[in-house]
């Protein structure tokens, strides 16, 4: 383990980490690479893939820290159906209001706005055996440090302690690195209909 990676540590999310969730999400939102140039509002990816987890599921959110700086996160929801219902009621109306004056001009604006205005529902077949889902994002300088594996373990332990039967996650089709990572650490590839999906049973 390098000197840099040995000084990193994992800790529970704190309220003060919300800006870091937005920032890390933006810096990894282009299939794992920096997407800063691709969104006209820097909060767009974080509104979808990071901040609501900090807001509504803080017990399943962990920060990879370098001193007082956040360099990665793993976040999740134990009951995806209930989480998405909550976003419909309490999150998307707020986000739409925040973005009501946005004029889409960058390459990924339209995709993000479509997800915010018509959020996707997870398929029933997936929720039955794998009701939880997670996201993991580490900034480039802290990747390949062995922390990705440890962060996934922390998230799986939190979900197992909560009695969750299984967990799934979606991967950008071009994110070959993440696909290799999930396969290597024991996730099953359940991809279908053009969606790249990995999953793992946790209890029983
Ligand atoms: C994907 C990501 C979470 C992986 O974390 P990481 O810290 O880089 O990975 P680690 O160093 O912990 O690797 C863990 C193990 O997986 C292996 N591994 C990593 N990437 C691999 C790949 N593409 N193929 C095969 N094995 C891989 C490592 O060799 C290591 O093996 P070992 O523990 O048996 O020695 C991280 O690179 C990342 O955040 N990328 C940007 C954001 C992103 O793409 N997130 C996923 C969105 S779905």
In whole angstroms, what is the distance from residue 69 CA to residue 201 CA? 33
136 lines ligand 1 (CB under 6 A): yes
25-63 pLDDT tens trace = 999 999 889 999 999 999 999 999 999 999 999 999 999
pLDDT of residue 63: 98
pLDDT of residue 1: 67
The domains of the chain are located at 3-201
Number of H helices, E strands in the chain: 10, 7
- pLDDT less than 50: residues of the chain: none
8 lines ligand 1 (CB under 6 A): no
27, HSE (Cβ side, Cα atoms, 13 Å)? 18
Spell out the residues 6+ positions from residue 136 whose beta carbon is closer than 8 angstroms to its own. Answer: 72, 73, 74, 75, 148, 151, 152, 155
pLDDT of residue 203: 82
Atom from ligand 1 closest to the CA of residue 142: 7
5 lines ligand 1 (CB under 6 A): no
128-143 pLDDT tens trace = 999 999 999 999 999 9
Ligand 1: distance of its center to the CA of 177 in Å?
Answer: 7
148 lines ligand 1 (CB under 6 A): yes
Question: Ligand 1 pocket check: which of 152, 181, 190, 191 to mutate, most ligand atoms within 8 Å of Cβ?
Answer: 181
Q: How far is CA 78 from CA 14, 37, 133, 142, 159, in A?
A: 19, 33, 7, 27, 6
152 lines ligand 1 (CB under 6 A): no
CA-nearest residue, atom 5 of ligand 1: 148
Strands (DSSP E) contained in 51-90 are: 62-66, 69-77
Instruction: Give domain 3-201's CATH superfamily.
Output: Gcn5-related N-acetyltransferase (GNAT) (3.40.630.30)
175 lines ligand 1 (CB under 6 A): yes
């Amino acid at each position: 383990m390098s000197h840099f990676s040995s000084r990193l540590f994992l800790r529970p999310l704190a309220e003060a980490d919300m800006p870091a969730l937005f920032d890390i999400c933006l810096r990894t939102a282009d299939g794992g690479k920096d997407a800063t140039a691709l969104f006209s509002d820097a909060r767009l990816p974080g509104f979808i893939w990071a901040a609501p987890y900090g807001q509504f599921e803080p017990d399943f959110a962990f920060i990879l820290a370098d001193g007082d700086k956040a360099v990665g996160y793993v976040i999740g929801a134990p009951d995806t159906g209930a989480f998405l219902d909550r976003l419909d009621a309490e999150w998307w109306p707020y986000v739409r209001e925040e973005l009501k004056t946005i004029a889409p001009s960058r390459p990924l604006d339209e995709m993000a706005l479509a997800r915010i205005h018509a959020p996707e529902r997870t398929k029933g077949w997936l929720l039955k055996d794998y009701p939880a889902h997670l996201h993991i994002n580490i900034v480039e300088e802290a990747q390949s440090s062995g922390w990705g594996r440890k962060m996934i373990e922390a998230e799986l332990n939190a979900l197992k302690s909560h009695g969750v039967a299984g967990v799934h996650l979606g991967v950008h089709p071009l994110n070959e690195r993440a696909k290799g990572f999930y396969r290597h650490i024991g996730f099953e590839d359940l991809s279908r209909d053009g969606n790249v999906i990995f999953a793992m049973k946790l209890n029983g």
